[in-house]
Amino acid sequence: MSGFTPLDPLLHSQLRLAVMSLLIGVESAEFTFIKEKTQATAGNLSVQLDKLSKAKYIEVTKAFKGKKPVTTCKITKVGVAAFETYVNALKGYIE
Amino acid sequence: MSGFTPLDPLLHSQLRLAVMSLLIGVESAEFTFIKEKTQATAGNLSVQLDKLSKAKYIEVTKAFKGKKPVTTCKITKVGVAAFETYVNALKGYIE
DNA sequence: TGTTTGTGGTTTATATTATAAACTTGTTTA
DNA sequence: TAAACAAGTTTATAATATAAACCACAAACA
């Protein structure tokens, strides 16, 4: 039906999509875990997490585990909704 | 299973994906038809068709219909295969 | 007690991309 | 014949993705 619904550019990015895909399945995840799973470089991941965070798609909290800094990410309700919308739009492209 | 399979950057683009999605369902399609269906500007479409063409994902032929130039596009076997691979990879992100 | 190695990131620079604006070529219409 | 139109292409710009370079701190040497 409806032609081609625009795809949320924030989600239509390989790394950000992988991050969201990962986060949607867990309570929360640490930076290093996400980095490993997505095979991203730290710099790239840092930038993309920032974008998702600024869009309120995820919540990022910084803390210390012993003496080591730990960055933890959690998908928000807004993020879940955006992801679902994106997936539905995408289905219009790939049947 | 398998982490996140890389997504063919040539297909991971809203407009090129829409074009491929369109072409996969028809024998062939004219430039103006694709333009209308995708709501793209002519310039953007021209550029993206060129990229798909250079990758041999589509075949572009120029002819005349009466006195008007007509550009016709047709997906190739390579294109169909790439599209299918892309869709499968994508499923790893959205399922 | 330096100094070097490792961890956990961030900032910055660069190369690529997507996109629209401006242009071209030819045709039809007023 | 000039103006508007059709069908694209070329070029300029803004946005993006990405990696390289960097920073702060801790632990392990020497």
Residue of B nearest to A89 (CA): B14
CB pairs under 8 A between A and B: 41
Judge contact between A38 and B4, C-beta under 8 A.
yes
What is the Cα–Cα distance from B67 to A23, expressed in whole angstroms?
Answer: 56
Measuring CA to CA, how many Å separate B27 from each of A38, A45, B19, B85?
A: 38, 42, 13, 20
Nucleotide at minimal C1' distance from the A70 CA: C8
Interface touch B93/A18, C-beta < 8 Å = yes
What is the Cα–Cα distance from B89 to A88, expressed in whole angstroms?
Answer: 16
Catalogue the E-assigned strands of chain B: 29-30, 58-65, 68-75
* Averaged pLDDT for residues B7-34: 96
Residues of chain A with confidence (pLDDT) below 50: none
In which band, very low, low, confident or very high, does the pLDDT at B95 lie, cut at 50, 70 and 90? confident
Residue of B nearest to A25 (CA): B95
Judge contact between A52 and A79, C-beta under 8 A.
yes
What distance, in Å, lies between the first and last C-alpha atoms of chain B? 12
Interface touch A94/B90, C-beta < 8 Å = yes
What is the Cα–Cα distance from A92 to A31, expressed in whole angstroms?
Answer: 32
- pTM value? 0.93
Interface touch B3/A90, C-beta < 8 Å = no
- State how far residue B65 is from chain A, nearest Cα, in angstroms: 27
Write out pLDDT tens, residues B47-94: 999 999 999 999 999 999 998 999 999 999 999 999 999 999 999 999
Which pLDDT value is given to residue A3?
82
Spatial strand order in the sheet of B68-75: B29-30, B68-75, B58-65
- State how far residue B28 is from chain A, nearest Cα, in angstroms: 17
